[in-house]
Chain A
Amino acid sequence: MRVIVAGIGYRNLRDHSIGIAVIDRLLERAWPGDVVVEDLSYNPIAVVQRLEDEPPEQRFTRAVVVGAVERGNRAPGSVVTYLWDGVLPSDEEIQVAVTEAVTGVIALDNTLVVARHFGGLPDEVVVIEVEPGVQEFGEDFSAPVAKALDQVCELAVTMATDAKAVAGLPRCPLGGDLVASVGLSRG
């Protein structure tokens, strides 16, 4: 069992940077040898290629992916955790995702869709989404997202190291299910 804990986002974009901020924090911790913590905030095609570079016998079997995603139907600072059901959108939408990937868009959904389509992801993908409150230049978080940071870090640790906790997660499409997902808090 090898696990990759990955953050996705842009730096200096306030709440939208939480994926990277979580990784920065987690990198300060000691981790078991089978857990890799990495910032995957770059071209999703390059992410696929990075994941495929792992030797076959050492491919990751679980990915824990953390980032801010604006769904708009939940309060800022809400944290939603789920096992992605891996269902991909239509080919046309995947084409759009690839186009965005190669032209510089970095987003959690996009990265997962592209990485899944090209076979870069393990079957087990745990998504930890944070609903951002603001999107603007800056280093600090809005109050609800700042409040969620510790919780998100702990969730990521749990999902990386506790198979039972992962097994208990609901299996959801991208965006999760507000009722079924765990770890939901309202900011």
Chain B
Amino acid sequence: MCFKNLPIEFDAQGKPFLRAGVANPYGPSSASPQGAPTQLTAERIEDLLKRNGYIKELDFDPVTRVAGALAFHTVADFKGRKVLEARSMATLFRGYEVIMVGRDPRDAIFITSRACGVCGGVHSVTSAMAIEMAIGCVPPPLGILIRNIALALEFLYDHPLHLHLLAGPDYSAAMVGPTNPSLLERARSAEAPHAEIHGFRTLGELMEDLNPLSGKLYLEALHMTRVAREAYVLICGKYPHPQTIVPGGMSSTITLTVMNEMFTRLAQFFDYSKKLAAIWDDLTEFFYEANPAYKQVGARRANLIDTGIFDHHEAYDATYTGAAAWGDRRWATPGVVMDGQLVTTDLHALNIGVEEFVEHSYYEEWSGDGQRQHFPADPVGNPLSPYHPWNKVTKPRPQGQNWKEKYTWDTAPRWDRQAMEAGAYARLWNTAVARKLPANPFIESTGTSLKIRLPKGALPELELEWKVPAVWNAFERNRARAYCTGFTALVALNNWLAAMDRLKKGDTRTSTPFEIPKRGEQRGVGFWGAGRGYLTHHLTLDRGAVSNYQIITPSTWNASPSDRWRQPGPYEEAVLNTPLLEETDDPAKFKGIDILRAIRSFDPCMPCTTHIHSDAGVITREVNTCACGVDDEGG
């Protein structure tokens, strides 16, 4: 029984059905998110601002020169050192869902890739999978294996980039010094527990090399992105927008030479993963020990969602009917974690629990007022909400910003009406707890942890163990992402070995021929993932053309606005729980570092600039959120 809010129950065979006697099962009052936090009302905030001089607005104002932008509005209590209101704003509409309507579905592979400049390939594959499901086309085993390796390589580009180019500087000497000088002082004499792995004698030395532009860790991360990119283009032609993704597999020619060239690059991530885990372990434990209040930075309920990724080459059949079965055999297990507990790993349950709301988004409602719900059920007869992506219609409606009404281009996806968080950590958490990993010599799911056995390189063989954390916050997100690098490298290694076996047996087929049906209506969904987590493309075809296309990205979840029940989105909730720990009592000198750590820990990836507007003026800070996510459409 994984649903607590939606009136969905399961029969003895595990088949979901709508509870009898509920007149409007998906109505706002029929199911509300029990136990969820709520934002203060706009009236209450206005009153607090009026009556207390120490309560001030801090507006994170975007620069829109880049394709897509995130802005953030907060109201902070400088006396209580807490945030009272947080509003996440996606300020650009990209419109992939509108662009796709009426097109040949094969266009989606190339068009939706452009949603993201970091990991466009994940969109290509997700759209290919949606098409495969719609038209009934199954890739051959080698095609599945190579697709998995390609995905892993994208993550091996993304994780170092985020950890040491985007999030890392928040923990660097250059940032910690001005915001928390006593902390940096303490770091200079704090011995690093894992010095033998990462090479830094003290935390202070480590923080120096996290410095942007000049720090060794910053520069090393830039180099590692090259290594991953080189390996990726061997099988995908180019990066970040691949040329070899097709419905039914891959169009690349895979030879032993290609495989060997890829391996020489992949192997460089074994040692690098050891270093990343050691660095983020040491940083996290140092901050916790220096001030336990850091455990509250970016803290929120551990409500996580992930579709799972990396299909088993002998299990994936591209059908919706088989999704629960092939999902279970993925190298990263699908799942929903609610308040720290894994409640389902079933892709059908995961899919039918998803709804998107637009009360605070610049869109018009598409359900209600007698409009017909296009699909009352999924392809196997499970009930679907009128707010489900297969039923959603994108109706953009630009208008002025109003906290009480609409303030973002992002929608509010919810699962069982709860605000869920997507990320690399969700796949780690599900996989660690579910114990469904395919048999292999390198990764072990224990039920409470994930053991990651990294082979010997320049560093000796090392077993990392990522344990399900007791607290969920900005530090744990980054730590999990660091461990996820090793996990990803070993998933790639497993798939590389399996691919080599296929090649040795003379099986070089990477794709299956297909035809787009010119009659009737078909639908499909790609359940896949970006570096920063959950990614779905829901597709409907009508007489060979796309009649509806809906993308939900990790940043759609994470940057979502508050919903009709005043439940904040994940960024908003994390910032609301963040204490202001900077060593200044002067709001004019306030840099907002803890708020920015909270937001960046989600690995938002759209480049934008956030200005923190205080009474003293505008302070420029850089925030990244995914171009493919914070707007409605776009990883």
Name A104's contact: one of B116, B212, B622 (CB within 8 Å).
Answer: B116
Counting CB contacts under 8 A, is B606 at the interface? yes
Interface residue total, chain B, C-beta cutoff 8 A: 26
**What residues of B have a CB within 8 angstroms of the CB of A43 in the complex?**
239-240
Cβ B609 vs Cβ A102 within 8 A: no
A96 touches B622 (CB 8 A): yes
Q: Report how far A177 CA is from B620 CA in the complex, Å.
A: 28
| B352 at interface, CB cutoff 8 A | no
In angstroms, Cα B222 to Cα A43, docked, is 12
Docked pose: A104 CA to B121 CA in angstroms: 13
Cβ of A124 under 8 Å from chain B: no
Residue contact A99 to B165, C-beta cutoff 8 Å:
yes
* Interface membership of chain A positions 70-114, coded 1 if the CB is closer than 8 angstroms to chain B and 0 otherwise: 000000000000000000000110111011101111000000000
Given A49-B226, A98-B165: A103 and B605 within 8 A (CB)? Answer: yes
The answer to whether B624 touches A103 (Cβ under 8 A) is yes
B622 contacts A91, C-beta separation under 8 Å: no
Report if A45 contacts B (CB, 8 A): yes
Contact call A102/B161, Cβ cutoff below 8 A: yes
Give the size of the chain A interface in residues (CB under 8 angstroms): 18
Q: Which residues of chain B are near A96, meaning CB under 8 Å?
A: 607, 609, 622
A103 and B213 contact, CB distance less than 8 A: no
Are the CB atoms of A45 and B225 closer together than 8 Å?
Answer: yes
Asked if A117 is at the interface of the complex by the 8 Å CB criterion, the answer is: yes
- Report Cα–Cα, A86/B609, bound state, in Å: 24
| Distance, CA A184 to CA B594, complexed state (A) | 49
Q: Mark B526-561, 1 if CB is under 8 A from A, else 0.
A: 000000000000000000000000000000000000
B-facing residues in A34-84 (Cβ within 8 Å): 43, 45-46, 49
Q: How many A-B residue pairs have CB under 8 A?
A: 56
> Do A99 and B166 form a contact, CB below 8 Å, given A104-B116, A104-B117?
yes
Q: Does the CB pair A94–B605 fall under 8 Å?
A: no
Taking the nearest CB of chain B, how far is it from the CB of A132, in angstroms? Answer: 14
B152 part of interface (Cβ distance < 8 Å): no
Complex formed: what's the CA distance from A121 to B112 in Å?
33
Residue ID in chain A nearest B166 by CB atoms = A99
Q: Are A103 and B607 in contact (CB under 8 A)?
A: yes
In the assembled complex, the CB of A168 is this many whole angstroms from the nearest CB of chain B, namely: 33
B422 interface hit (Cβ, 8 Å): no
> Which 5 A/B pairs are nearest by Cβ-Cβ distance?
A104-B117, A100-B607, A103-B607, A95-B212, A99-B607
Q: List 16 additional contacts besides A92-B622, A99-B165; criterion CB under 8 Å.
A: A43-B239, A45-B225, A96-B622, A98-B212, A99-B607, A99-B622, A99-B624, A102-B225, A103-B118, A103-B606, A103-B607, A103-B624, A104-B240, A104-B607, A104-B627, A117-B213
Chain B interface (Cβ < 8 Å from any Cβ of A)? 66-67, 116-118, 120, 161, 165-166, 169, 212-213, 222, 225-226, 229, 239-240, 605-607, 609, 620, 622, 624, 627
